Amino acid sequence: MTEYVTLTSTIPEEELLPPSAPVDPDSVTPVPDAAPVTPPEDEEVPDAPDAEPEGAPEESPDAAPEDAPEAKPEEDLDVPTGDAETTGAEDSTETGELVEVRDEKEPIWEKYDTLTLSLMGAVVVLAAVAAVLGVLLGRKKKPTPQVESVVRPVGGGSVDVGKLHEIGDRESQQDCFAVSPEELYCSRGVLAVVADGMGGLADGDKVSQAVVTAMMDGFFAAEEEGNILLPLALQANQKVNQLLGPTGIGKSGSTMVAGLLRDGYFHYLSIGDSRICLYRDGRLMQLNREHVYENDLAIGALNGIGTLQSAASHPNKAGLTSYLGMGQLKYVDIPAESVLVREGDKFILMSDGVYNALQEYEIENALENDAEKAAERLGEIIAEKAYRNQDNYSAVILAV
């Protein structure tokens, strides 16, 4: 760096006055002391300029705001200090020759007086403050999204299970149910299946067992993610048709309801008249549609065949219009969208022996308890009623 320092015939011992603008001391490159130079005797020294009158106001740049961040020059740049001056006696100032002082670096700013550099520093500081304020003012606050309290485990997460399975006032148990093992909840989800063998036909118990077994076997072997209930139902229907054979189709059968808790959603599927309900916020809501003759009669009434009153009072209104064992299924009830699970939800899968024996409010009161206690309470209420010819009754409760 090449730097010019003005020398006088008499070098004062006082240090150079610091520049007006704040400077980081760590970034200033020191200037080595120069040896005093005495001007030749025959050379005239020009008179020093008139000293500035005492009491004159000292010029200074406008102060930056107190809260403005301090401007700091980059470490690899030389900080300008303006033209160097020497201070002489109080009544006069002497000037001398310019002596070249060499250094390693070349100065970035040359021949700027202190006032100009101070003003430039102030402008830089104000510009930085303005930029920061612009960013802060221009940044819009994003609204906080309203997110439901959703349970989203990999599989089923923390799920409490309640089970009810009683023979009622029948000679044999035609109901069958199953729930996937707890150790698979987080990796594969929670699958619950309830099948109600048709008591009026032969071997209803074998068909319901075949349905549940096929659903569970398919669940353990499946590698697909999301809702896999339709391919599982396909396997179950094929299993039943193989069991009955060509001559047994339509002579036995079973209903089925299946529910799958996976990735924060409840997927479900039903064939027949067993029910799937959601208990949320103290209310019981039926999710599936029953495949019974009454619904077909009601559709006929809408098309001018019969009346709604006759559909509701028909003696065979409870007859099944779709069930596993009839060969080709007529109806399969699946939702347009699966249920997004909320914390506190309870899902109940039940055969007609449960909901035909109880009022809706009785089921709701029982579901106020935890899953295991709710299943126990449902069984107690049905047993207390002691209906003659009480059907088999089974239920699975999944509480999240």
User: What is the average pLDDT across 6-13?
Assistant: 45
CB 322 within 8 A of CB 331: yes
Q: What does the pLDDT average to over 183-208?
A: 91
170 confidence band (pLDDT: 50, 70, 90): very high
Q: Which residue has the tokens 């200090």?
A: 81
Quick: pLDDT tens for 132-163. 565 555 554 444 434 333 444 444 458 999 99
**305 SS3 class:** coil
Span 357-377, pLDDT tens digits: 999 999 999 999 999 999 999
Task: Please give the helix or strand (H or E) that residue 59 lies within, else none.
Answer: none
The lowest-confidence range among 100-109, 173-182, 202-211 is 100-109
- How much is the pLDDT for 313? 95
**Euclidean distance between CA atoms 191 and 272, whole angstroms:** 19
For residue 39, give Cα distances in angstroms to 7, 14, 90, 95, 263.
10, 21, 22, 11, 93
**pLDDT-based confidence at residue 79 (cuts at 50, 70, 90):** very low
- Region 312-333: mean pLDDT is 95
Q: Amino acid identity, residue 48?
A: A
Closest CA to 271 of 317, 334, 218, 327: 334
Greater confidence (381 vs 81) lies with 381
Average pLDDT across the chain, whole number: 76
Q: What angle do CA 157, 161, 164 make, to 5 degrees?
A: 160
For residue 373, the one-letter residue type is K
**What is the DSSP-derived secondary structure letter of residue 252?**
S
pLDDT-above-90 percentage for the chain: 57
Q: Residue 308 has what pLDDT?
A: 95
Q: Which is higher by pLDDT, 356 or 93?
A: 356
Mean of pLDDT values over 165-193:
95
**Tell me, what's the pLDDT at 34?**
44
Question: Residue 104 gets which letter from DSSP?
Answer: S
Please determine, for residue 3, whether its predicted confidence score (pLDDT) is greater than 70: no
Domains of the chain: 1-133 (no CATH), 160-399 (3.60.40.10)
> Taking Cα atoms as reference points, which of 9, 15, 20 lies closest to residue 31?
15
Of the two residues 379 and 225, the one the predictor is more confident about is: 379
pLDDT recorded at residue 91: 45
- pLDDT beyond 50 at 216: yes
Helix (H) or strand (E) holding 179: strand 175-179
Task: State in Å, rounded, how far the first CA of the chain is from the last one.
Answer: 76
The residue among 77 and 219 whose pLDDT is bigger is: 219
